[in-house]
Structure 1
Amino acid sequence: MGTDYVHGYTPAETRRLTDQAGTLADLLHGGTTYPAGSRVLEAGCGVGAQTVQLVTRSPGVQLVAIDISEASLAQAKARVAEHAPYAVVDWRHADLHELPGEKFDHVFVCFVLEHLADPVDALTRLRGLLNPGGTITVIEGDHGSAFFHPRSTRAQAVVDCLVDLQAAAGGDSLIGRRLQPLLEQAGYDDVRVEPRTVYADQNRPHLVDGFTRKTFVAMVESVRERAVAAGLLTAAEWAAGIRDLEKSAAPGGTFHYAFFKGVGRT
């Protein structure tokens, strides 16, 4: 069910995911807590950047975390052991074709659907694991919501490369805007979706550094080799585009991005 992870499994990508999770912890996880004793499934835990937030904000949950990458699972285990040593997590190497044959009170999915060719099928499979009245929480980004100052066609071109490469790999980096209909199509009730917006300028230096520079620009940079190899841009065009995009993190620059957080019930 999965697709090629367009950003790659590299140390740089691990750093980016960690910076993103730390910078946006309150923005993304605000309003999400689970009662102690609840059985919670994190589908696609990656390197554990979001897992730390889950177990920290909901101590005492019975968390099962799955991921398709054994290397990512190993990093996730180490990360949780360092930052939340009290937490007990059941780590499992599996993809969405091999979901646990058991029931959960809640499911949490963050930055996973964008990489799947059939997100409705994945959401439907996850719904089958929920107890009556259980909830699913889904968080996704939407690269079409990225706009910045100074405007630059060269900067927009490198962002578009990321969108095109993810689509070629079978995913959708514009999926945030589709969360509501996707959850409805998968059969969830009482679906609610809201934007969680990031805006960064020189008066918000922690967001300029943690999000604009270390999350978004780093994410675009992760596909440089693929973009050039695919002939989407030349190496010189790519370098010029990144230089222009980096101006949004310089004094006088601004950057806007919207994540979408959806909740549905069974």
Structure 2
Amino acid sequence: MGTDYVHGYTPAETRRLSDQAGTLADLLHGGTTYAPGSRVLEAGCGVGAQTVQLVTRSPGIELVSVDISEDSLAQAKARVAANAPNATVDWRHADLHDLDEKFDHVFVCFVLEHLRDPRSALTRLRGLLNPGGTITVIEGDHQSAFFHPRSTQAQAVIDCLVDLQAETGGDSLIGRRLQPLLDDAGYDDVHVEPRTVYADQTLPHLVDGFTRKTFIAMVESVRDRAIAARMRTESEWNDGIRDLEKTAAPGGTFHYTFFKGVGRT
């Protein structure tokens, strides 16, 4: 399940993932807990931003966290040790196709968007679940972003991210198709619901944690690639980011939708 991670493996991206996980913890993890003793697979744990949420919200689970990046796994181990020192996690440097064991539940967050064949990955994960087991999948949809003040320049830099991710075989709009993907992969009782973020000056924690440090930072992560590909000039890019930053200023507003899907075997 190799990926071309469009945002890059950088300290800035690690900070962004941490800010995102902390700011959106209740939004994304609300309704997801696992019974003590449950065997849970976190597929694509990255730097451990979501791992911390899993072990603190479901104490006593047997968590196996897998990633293809050794550097990310090292950061994940350190993050969990610092934030949940009593948690026990079985860390694996592996591809999903290397796994040959059974789990009661699977958790996948912000992984499918980077895969060339997300349906195949979901099918493979279904084969790792015990009968009656569940999968929980969380993904975003970058075209669900709308904001005030409206700006064609700001929209253009967002579109650069969407297009660059598509060029690597990913899909930053995948949230809207979680239901058919899970259904086609053979899961039963599939249910998908939107998890919406809205930020304005009355919600400063979301303005800072999501609009600035999550979304704008995510767009900025592809700056060099977008300019090198001549999708935008340096001046056009700067204009777009400046307009996007106005959505986080007083009088600005920002909206984005994540999608959370659950299916059973």
User: Structure 1 length normalisation: TM-score?
Assistant: 0.99
Post-superposition Cα deviations, 1:83-108, rounded to whole Å, max 9, x if no partner, equal 0011000000012332x211000000
1:242 maps to 241
Partner of 1:29: 29
- AA at the equivalent of 1:162: L
Where structure 1 has 5 or more consecutive residues not aligned to the other structure, the ranges are none
1:225 maps to which residue?
Answer: 224
Please tell me the residue identity of whatever aligns with 2:245: E
Alignment of 1:52-201 (within 5 A): 52-98=52-98, 100-201=99-200
How many angstroms does 1:3 deviate by? 2.6
Matches of 1:202 and 1:144 in 2, distance apart? 22
Q: CA deviation at 1:75?
A: 0.2
Q: Distance in 1 between matches of 2:230 and 2:125?
A: 38
**Distance in 1 separating the partners of 2:169 and 2:65:** 24
Distance 1:103 1:3 in 2: 24
Query: One-letter code of the match for 1:216?
Result: F
Question: How far apart, in 1, do the equivalents of 2:101 and 2:122 lie?
Answer: 16
Deviation (angstroms), 1:249: 0.2
Distance 2:176 2:143 in 1: 9
Cα shift readout 1:154-183 (whole Å, capped 9, x = no counterpart): 000000000000000000000000000000
Provide the rounded CA distance (Å) in 2 between the counterparts of 1:211 and 1:35.
30
Cα distance in 2 for partners of 1:2, 1:28 equals 25
* Paired AA for residue 142 in structure 1: D
Task: Report the residue type matching 2:56 in the other structure.
Answer: T
Asked if 1:265 is matched to 2:264, the reply is: yes
Distance across 2 between alignment mates of 1:3 and 1:67 = 11
Pairwise CA distance, 1:216: 0.1
Distance in structure 1 (CA, Å) of the matches to 2:94 and 2:230:
34
Aligned residues: 265
- Which residue identity does 2:172 align to in structure 1? S
> Using the alignment, how far apart are the partners of 1:153 and 1:250 within structure 2?
18
* Cα shift at 1:218: 0.1
1:124-167 deviations in whole A, cap 9, x for unaligned?
00000000000000000000100000000000000000000000
TM-score by length of 2: 0.99
Gaps of 5+ in 2: none
Q: Secondary structure of the residue that 2:96 maps to in structure 1?
A: coil
Secondary structure in 1 matching 2:42:
strand
CA distance in 1, matches of 2:149, 2:2: 36
Structure 1 segments, 4+ long, off by >2 Å, are none
1:39 partner letter: R
Identity %: 85
What is the root-mean-square deviation in Å for CA atoms of aligned residues?
A: 0.5
State the one-letter code of the partner of 1:148. Answer: F
